[in-house]
A and B are shown apart, each in its own frame.
Chain A
C-alpha cells in the first residue's frame, strides 16, 4: 500500500468543467510534487512545493493550478482542459527537497484523467 494517497483514481471531465485532484501524505515529508505521465513516457515534472511554498513551476499552462493547504495536502485544480491533457497525474513526496538531501520520491497511485 502506498503512503501517498490520491483521489480520485479515475476522472472524466469535459473541456468546460472544473475539477480538482487531491493528494495526501502523512510521512512528515516537506516536499510535494505533481507529475504528468503520458503512455510509454517517463513522468514529467509539473510543480514542486517545498515547505508549503511553490518552488518550481515547469512552465505549466494556467489551466492547471496547484495548491498546498498544509504540509500533508496537495491539490491540483483543473479548468478548461484540452483532450491532450489526458494522462496519468502522479503526486509524490520526499522528505526534504533541499539540494543536499538524498531522499527518493514516493509516488501515489495516480489519477487517470480523461478529457472529452
Chain B
C-alpha cells in the first residue's frame, strides 16, 4: 500500500514566522509532488508542485524535495493569519493514475 505521511498537527506559529510542513512518501518511483491548501469547508487549492530534487520558490512559499530520502516539505515565510488552513501533501503514484494524499497538517497562524 503506497502511503503519504504527514504530521496532523496542529502546527501553531506566530504571525510573521516561518511555518515548516513536512511529508514523507513510500513510493520510491514517484516523480510528481504537490501541496494543496484547504480552508475549512472548502475544496483543496493547488499552491505548489515540484518534480525535481531541490527547492522551488513561489512568492512566500518554498517547496523542497529530496527523492533519496523520500521527503517533501513546504516552507511558508512571513506567515499570515490568512494562511491558517489544512495543508495536504499529495504524491502521484509512479506509472499510475492515482494521486495519493496525506492526512493533512492543520496550520494556525496567530495574530
Determine whether A50 belongs to the interface, using a CB cutoff of 8 Å to chain B.
yes
Over the window 99-111 of chain A, the binary record of Cβ atoms lying under 8 Å from chain B Cβ atoms (1 yes, 0 no) is 1001011111110
Q: Give 13 A-B pairs besides A41-B103, A50-B97, A104-B32 with Cβ atoms closer than 8 angstroms.
A: A43-B44, A43-B88, A43-B101, A48-B98, A88-B41, A99-B96, A104-B90, A105-B34, A105-B46, A106-B46, A107-B36, A107-B43, A110-B42
Looking across the interface, which residue of chain A has its beta carbon closest to that of B4?
A42
User: Do A102 and B97 touch (CB < 8 A)?
Assistant: no
Q: A45-B98, A56-B98, A107-B45 are in contact. Are A102 and B92 (CB under 8 A)?
A: yes
Interface residues on B, range: 20 to 34
What is the CA–CA distance of A50 and B95 in the complex, to the nearest angstrom? 14
Determine whether A76 belongs to the interface, using a CB cutoff of 8 Å to chain B.
no
Determine whether B31 belongs to the interface, using a CB cutoff of 8 Å to chain A.
yes
Determine whether A90 belongs to the interface, using a CB cutoff of 8 Å to chain B.
yes
Q: Which residues of A contact B103 (CB under 8 A)?
A: 41-42
Q: A42-B104, A102-B32 are in contact. Are A56 and B46 (CB under 8 A)?
A: no
User: Do A104 and B34 touch (CB < 8 A)?
Assistant: yes
User: Do B51 and A102 touch (CB < 8 A)?
Assistant: yes
State which residues 86-116 of A face B: CB under 8 Å. 88, 90, 97, 99, 102, 104-110, 112
User: Do A48 and B97 touch (CB < 8 A)?
Assistant: yes
Mark A residues whose CB is within 8 Å of B: 2, 31, 41-43, 45, 48, 50, 55-56, 88, 90, 97, 99, 102, 104-110, 112
User: Do B44 and A56 touch (CB < 8 A)?
Assistant: no
What is the CA–CA distance of A50 and B96 in the complex, to the nearest angstrom? 12
Q: Which residues of B contact A42 (CB under 8 A)?
A: 88, 101-104
User: Do A56 and B34 touch (CB < 8 A)?
Assistant: no
Q: Which residues of B contact A102 (CB under 8 A)?
A: 31-32, 49, 51, 92
Q: A90-B43, A104-B46, A109-B42 are in contact. Are A31 and B102 (CB under 8 A)?
A: no
